[in-house]
Amino acid sequence: MATRGSSSAIGDPLVISERETRDAPPHRIGLWHVGVVVSTHTETPTGRSIVLDVPGWGGNLAGQHADVRLTASDGYQAVRSYSIASAGDSDRVELAVDRFPTGEVSPYLVDDLLPGDELELRGPLGGWFVWKPTQTESVQLIGGGSGIVPLVAMIRSHTDSASTAPFRLLYSVRTSDDAFFRSELERPTPHLDVTWLYTRRVPHGWPRPAARISLADLAASAFASSLSPAVFVCGPTGFVETVATDLVALGHDPQRVKTERFGGA
């Protein structure tokens, strides 16, 4: 790799500039960084966001994730993947984590981690479930629970880049208390339309009864397949599979639908 790059640099500067400007997302080989927790914020009864300074991180695209590694005093290690809520060139990284009661990593991140603590991170990871500010087509985001995290990164990247690409978000949560980044998502944002779906309890006077997301919700509130939007779906496995099936039934090209399912770890 290095040989190819340096020989091109001598022989043909145009080739090098083409390679440098290609659309490859940041990707750092197997490197673990040590981040320091700057702040934490309670988002829901079971989840919180964590801001870290990670020297050498070098920024990430919207939608990428990080692996977090915990090491016990006996040397046992556990690694889990978490979506990144932030995007951009900075070494400051925001994660948002929901607690799985039986998990090995998330209870520590949600209940115990304090500002000043160190945390090992690997990344940024994944060049597939990403949105880039150079994309101009309509974008449909569909999130369930903490599946909102990579979608929030895309919304932030959209805002930060003053993109005029039309964005729509469908966000399904149990109750209004269970929404991550609620105040940020309720703030009016240019070129972004947000639809809230409640599955257990609705706010007073809410027109739609509490119910899981359905094909009717997608037909009513999501961009039509005729617009060929880029679609990003993130949430629990069952949520993602239901939504992906319904999207295809509504005529969306499966190749335009990208999913990120999280299991129960």
Partner 1 sequence: MPEPVDGNSLAGPFSELFSADLTTATARCLGCGDVSELARATVYPDPTGYVVRCGRCDDVLMVIIEEPDSIRLELRGMSWLKVPR
Angstrom distances, CA of residue 126 to CA of 82, 235, 241, 263: 12, 17, 20, 17
Q: Rounded CA gap, 103 and 253, in Å? A: 35
Please state the closest distance from residue 24 (CB atom) to partner 1, in A. 8
- Closer to partner 1 at the Cβ: 43 or 260? 260
Residue with smaller CB distance to partner 1, 78 or 224: 78
- Footprint of partner 1 on residues 200-259 (CB under 8 A)? 236-237, 258-259
Distance, CA of 246 to CA of 69 (rounded, Å)? 36
B/e letters for 208-218, b = 16+ CB within 10 Å, e = fewer, are eeeeebeeebb
Site track for partner 1 across 78-97, x = CB under 8 A: -x-x----------------
Which of 101, 209 has the CB closer to partner 1? Answer: 101
d(CA 232, CA 250): 15
Position among 3, 10, 14, 30 found at the interface with partner 1 (CB under 8 A): 30
- According to CB under 8 A, which residues from 115 to 174 bind partner 1? 122-123, 125-129
Smallest distance, partner 1 to C-beta of residue 123, A: 7
- The torsion angles phi and psi of 134, rounded to 5 degrees, stand at -75, -10
Residue 59 binds partner 1 (CB under 8 A): no
In whole angstroms, the minimum distance from the beta carbon of 27 to partner 1 comes to 5
d(CA 208, CA 202) in angstroms, rounded, equals 8
For residue 104, report the phi and psi dihedrals to the nearest 5 degrees.
-90, -20
Under the binding rule (CB under 8 A), the answer on residue 67 touching partner 1 is yes
57 binds partner 1 (CB under 8 A): no
Using rule CB under 8 A, residue 28 touches partner 1: yes
165 and 134 Cβ atoms separated by less than 8 Å: no
Q: Structure tokens of 253?
A: 């090209």
Instruction: Please report, as ranges, the residues that interact with partner 1 according to CB under 8 A.
Output: 1, 24-25, 27-30, 65, 67, 79, 81, 122-123, 125-129, 236-237, 258-265
